[in-house]
Structure 1
Amino acid sequence: MALNTQPNFFEPGTHYFRTFSPGDDFYELLIDTHRELTDEQSAQVNARLILLLANHIGDIAVLREAMRIARGGV
């Protein structure tokens, strides 16, 4: 499986009028997840979220590519 870097957010059964709307929904969820947390708590949430999503993906090659791309932008 290759890493998909194109917008790929959706919610089953939901029809959006604009292609960016699902991404906006994700961003809002992410911000709400961190609301009222300390910087340390926010970092812990990010670490747990990364590990949960990495486990869900499961494909080491995809994860390696994602890490390479993410680090390349820093």
Structure 2
Amino acid sequence: MTHMTTDIQLNLEDADGFYEQLLDAHLDLSDKESALLNAKLILVMANAIGNSAALARCLAAAKA
């Protein structure tokens, strides 16, 4: 498997704060509910990004 280099860099103003919010959002959820939340979050974030090339880079970075 070949790994792609991407230009994805940390851009979050408060990465630790977001991570804490993400963990809190999953509290008390079943595995199924947690997976559904992740799927919904991915679609909401993809819509917010809105750029197909940027989304392709995000997918590549996540798979690396």
Q: TM-score range by the shorter chain?
A: 0.7 to 0.9
Aligned counterpart, 2:30: 38
Give unpaired runs (5+ residues) of structure 1.
11-21
The percent of aligned pairs where both chains have the same amino acid is 42
Give CA deviations for 1:28-73 in whole Å, capped at 9, x if unaligned: 000000000000000000000000000010000000111012112x
Q: Distance in 1 between matches of 2:12 and 2:62?
A: 19
TM-score, with normalisation over the residues of structure 1?
0.72
Larger CA Rg, structure 1 vs 2: 1
Larger RCO, structures 1/2 (Cα 8 Å, 6+ apart): 2
Number of residue equivalences: 59
Deviation at 1:9, TM superposition (A): 1.7
TM-score (norm 2): 0.83
